[in-house]
Structures are given as C-alpha cells and as structure tokens.
Amino acid sequence: MAVSTSCKGATTISSNSEFDSLISALPRVESWIDQYISEHRSSAVPLVARGFSRLGAYFLPDTLRTARVVYVPKVVTPPLGALGIDGFTAFEQGCYQGITYKDYLFVESSHRDSESLHFHETVHIVQWRELGPLDFLFLYAKGLAEDGYDNCPLEFMAYRTQQEFENGTRIPDFEPKLIQMVRDEARNAGFLG
Ligand SMILES: [Zn+2]
C-alpha cells in the first residue's frame, strides 16, 4: 500500500500471545480479501491496458499481464478489529492512496494516472506471489507491529524501489532481484529453509 502523508498509523501489538492470535486470525483476513476481490472483479482492468510506458522496464511481462487494477473512491483496509485482530486500529483508520490484495491493485481514483504509485503496488504483487497470502499477511503485520509503517520491511522495499523508479534509475533484472529480496526477508523472518 502507499500511504497519504500525515496519515500513518502505529500498532500496539507486541507480546507472543498477541502474535499467536494474529496468526490464527489471518485465514479470516484472507477470506475477507477474497470476498472483497470478488465484489470488485467486474470493474477491474488489466494493468497492461493502462498503457504505462515505464513499468515494462522493471517488471516481467507475465507479472504485468496478470495484474489487475480497480479504481476506488476510497482505499479500504481489511476490518482487522472486526476480524478479531486487536492493535491495528490506527492502521485501519489510515488514509491510503493504494493497496494490493493478491494480484489486484486498488488505487484511489484521484491517483489513477500516477505510474509511480502503480509501480509501488506492483512491488507488493510480487511480494504476495512469492510469499503466498498467509505469509505475506503475517510478515506485513509483523513488520508493522515491530518496525512501524515506514520501516516495515515489505513497505521499505516498495518505497525504496519506488524512489529508484522515480529517479529513473535503470535496474537490470529488477524483478529477479526483487524476488531475491523478498526471499531474503522471508528467510530473516524464519520462513523458508
Ligand atoms: Zn506499500
């Protein structure tokens, strides 16, 4: 996701038991996401149909071909509290320009022409795909809880590469390198062997 300025939420989750209850609630978050996607599928457009000219220099053709974008008046986060996950109230109340659920980008309509924002969210698509839904959700929530939004590893990766994109930095083999970063992050978190 990409946040609007001055709207960043902190979290208050910290203890092991809170992490345990977070893990057990994540399948409910995934179900909510699947339902949300199915409600918006008919208004989704292929990312490639948007005609952004620079994304293809960074992402592999298959990634761009499978990505879908839905333009929404307001970006919606999963209702974590209602799904039994405490401690993320500020996150739920944040203001976001975009959010990625699996291979669907949900972008606030007023930012529909921001190629940079679509770049940022496509980084999250690669993260979702490489980690799988439950590990993505856990790593994202763990990062928010432990490091805050700016330093949550999955966000840090998206913002840092977005900055390089905005600077026009050419990065040969960007997506394979991104995949390696995601796998390194998963390994650091104790996933993967
Ligand atoms: Zn993001």
Residue 3 domain-assigned?
Answer: no
Residue 150 domain-assigned?
Answer: yes
Residue 81 domain-assigned?
Answer: yes
In the three-class reduction of DSSP (H, G, I as helix; E, B as strand; rest coil), residue 97 is classed as: strand
149 Cα: distance to centroid of ligand 1 (angstroms)? 9
Residue 21 domain-assigned?
Answer: yes
190 Cα: distance to centroid of ligand 1 (angstroms)? 22
Which residues, by Cβ under 5 Å, contact ligand 1, an ion?
1, 155, 158
List the pLDDT tens digit at each of the 193 positions of the chain. 776 654 555 556 666 777 788 889 999 999 999 999 999 999 999 999 999 999 999 999 999 999 999 999 999 999 999 998 888 888 888 889 999 999 999 999 999 999 999 999 999 999 999 999 999 999 999 898 888 888 899 999 999 999 999 999 999 999 999 999 999 999 988 876 4
- E strands, the chain, are 2-3, 45-46, 68-72, 96-101, 104-108
172 Cα: distance to centroid of ligand 1 (angstroms)? 22
1 Cα: distance to centroid of ligand 1 (angstroms)? 3
Residue 177 domain-assigned?
Answer: yes
Structural domain boundaries, residue 54: 10-186
15 Cα: distance to centroid of ligand 1 (angstroms)? 25
Backbone dihedral region for residue 63 (phi beyond 0: left; psi -120 to 50: alpha; all else: beta): alpha
111 Cα: distance to centroid of ligand 1 (angstroms)? 14
148 Cα: distance to centroid of ligand 1 (angstroms)? 12
- pTM for the predicted model, two decimal places: 0.93
* Tally of domains within the chain: 1
91 Cα: distance to centroid of ligand 1 (angstroms)? 13
Residue 27 domain-assigned?
Answer: yes
